[in-house]
Structure 1
Amino acid sequence: MRAVLLLLALLAAAPAAAGEAKPARIVSLNLCADELVLRLADPGRVASVTYLARDPRGSTVADLAAQVPVNRGLAEEVVPLAPDLVIAGAFTTRATTAMLRRLGFEVMELGVPTSLEEAYAQIRQVAARLGEAERGEAMVARIKAAMAALPPAPADHPTAVVLRPNGFTAGRGSVPDSVLARVGLDNLAARLSTDRMGQLALEEIVIAKPDLLVVNSAPDAPPSLADELLHHPALAPFAKAARTVPLPIRLWACAGPGLAEAARRLAAARERIAPGAPSPLVGAPAGLLQ
């Protein structure tokens, strides 16, 4: 009986129909959507974003999210807000988005961009639906201008590997792969891994002998078993040779200005590599993996 009453209450709160008017009450159910909504829409139009948006370890908009109500992706939280637009990820909060659609709410789903151009397109897509097309174009223009200001790439691209907790990497068909190419770095994982979110064994990294190791983890994250690989002695030569780049995942996990900052840091690291200098793992002592 309680379930029936709850459903009736939800139906009563649902909008009569979704429209294309400029939304006045926006709810985000996805961290990447949080960033775009908070950067593109006026604060008074944002009814709620995810609780993740307030965590500076994973969010680039923690300051903007501080004064906005948050949610944990539950339909019971969203419906009372009476949003006229809900933005969700294509692979997250599936039960919630299905329920909201059945209740008549407009749900806009964001996929995962596979290149810089797709990231720019996603910014424009969200900005257009928010009724802020000019702000979207301005954001894209700023990112492109920052990319254009990077130092020119050398003819021979140094190799790099992105290493995330549990040995995950950034392979082909990913925005990080596109950023690496943009700054003149050859992503070894695009050859070694099978997809954009593949894993690399420590042995594969050592054998591949990359010139640069991009450690894609939050420096202030609590200790965990997932991070053990990032601190393995076999990778110590990178730190000793200043060939390690700490790069928080938040900078290039989503479409937004963080992409330009990630590119700037990578370009600066690439500039530190002397032309023709061997990888830190060339000539590494035997038994390093033991």
Structure 2
Amino acid sequence: MIRRLALAIALLPLVSAAPLPRMPRIVSINPCIDAVLMQVADRAQIAGISHYSQDPRATSIPLALARRFRATSGTAEEVVALAPDMVITGPHVEPATLAALKRMGIAIVQYPVPDSVEESEAQVRDIARVAGHSARGEALARRIAVAARPVAGATVPALIWQSGGLVPGAGTLSDDLLRRAGFRNMSAVYGLKKWDVLPLEYLIARPPRVLLSMGAAEVGEDRVTAHPAVKRLGQRIAIAPYPTRLMNCGGPTIIAAMTRLRAIRKGYGV
């Protein structure tokens, strides 16, 4: 009996020391996926990221962090050179690139652009799952849900204005964030589609209470905020800088976007 017990104890280290499954080596060719991976994957798993994440105008992660990783422009040659097990990307990828990666036997996981907070939370969970860290994805999704809790009170008419007059309308993530932050997206009032261009004349004839301007955030003014007719609106319209990087992605970017939107609503007394 004693000899059998001693033998069992001697075998225990051999059992506990069995190698764990290797986590997949991942290349992301989408900056929004990059931002999620930084929070749900091990650093050693991330073989490469999108070159957009190393561009100050486009990144959704701190530049100092992004520059620790190899970046690619998303070509098959660059990706294959990094020897990943898996490529994760968004919807906009050259068909030739996808075909080349499939021929090389590299797994591809592709996600659409999320149109709501709930869709983004689901993506976060799935990205974490394929990266082998489901619990981290669940934790990040919970933080997003808390940050995106709807603000109580009357809604304030608002509009997000991008360069050239491009406006996000109903059915977009930006529309969902505006609503949750206590704003009413004026896009529908102007009869705009999901993504549409708003003529300046329409804006002047019926201005929103708050105009979230990406030009004001990037260069101080853009065509609309600098226009004399807009300036003559005076107190009828508040122009609030809204960085482009808060428009580009869901995932953890939602937390930063909601923080900015809540601050705008509070700061402009609306």
TM-score of the superposed pair, with normalisation by structure 1: 0.78
How big is each residue's C-alpha offset from its partner over 1:189-242, in whole Å with a ceiling of 9 and x where there is no partner? 13435432211111111122211101134734599xxx4334322332577678
Query: 2:152 corresponds to which residue?
Result: 153
Query: 2:49 corresponds to which residue?
Result: 49
1:37 CA drift (Å): 1.8
Give aligned pairs, total: 249
Is contact 1:50-1:73 (8 Å) kept? yes
Q: 2:196 aligns to what SS in structure 1?
A: coil
Is contact 2:54-2:67 (8 Å) kept? yes
1:142 CA drift (Å): 1.4
Query: 1:243 corresponds to which residue?
Result: 238
Distance 2:173 2:115 in 1: 5
1:55 CA drift (Å): 1.8
Q: 1:271 aligns to what SS in structure 2?
A: helix
1:164 CA drift (Å): 0.2
Query: 1:229 corresponds to which residue?
Result: 224
Is contact 1:238-1:244 (8 Å) kept? no
How big is each residue's C-alpha offset from its partner over 1:139-173, in whole Å with a ceiling of 9 and x where there is no partner? 1111222334x7x432x311001100010011111
User: What's the C-alpha RMSD, in Å, of the aligned pairs?
Assistant: 2.4
1:80 CA drift (Å): 1.9
Cα 1:87–1:241 shift into 2, 3 Å: same
How big is each residue's C-alpha offset from its partner over 1:251-289, in whole Å with a ceiling of 9 and x where there is no partner? 2421222212222222232234557xxxxxxxxxxxxxx
Distance 2:205 2:251 in 1: 34
Q: Does 1:37 align with 2:32?
A: no
Cα 1:77–1:122 shift into 2, 3 Å: same
Q: 1:112 aligns to what SS in structure 2?
A: coil
Distance 1:69 1:239 in 2: 48
Is contact 1:24-1:84 (8 Å) kept? yes
Q: 2:124 aligns to what SS in structure 1?
A: helix
Distance 1:254 1:245 in 2: 20
Identity %: 34
Higher Cα radius of gyration: 2
1:181 to 168, 171, 179: 179
Distance 2:139 2:215 in 1: 29
TM-score of the superposed pair, with normalisation by structure 2: 0.83
Distance 2:212 2:22 in 1: 41
List gaps (5 residues or longer) in structure 1. 1-20, 276-290
1:23 CA drift (Å): 4.2
Question: What amino acid is aligned across from residue 114 of structure 1 in structure 2?
Answer: D
List gaps (5 residues or longer) in structure 2. 1-20
Question: What amino acid is aligned across from residue 256 of structure 1 in structure 2?
Answer: G
1:66 CA drift (Å): 0.9
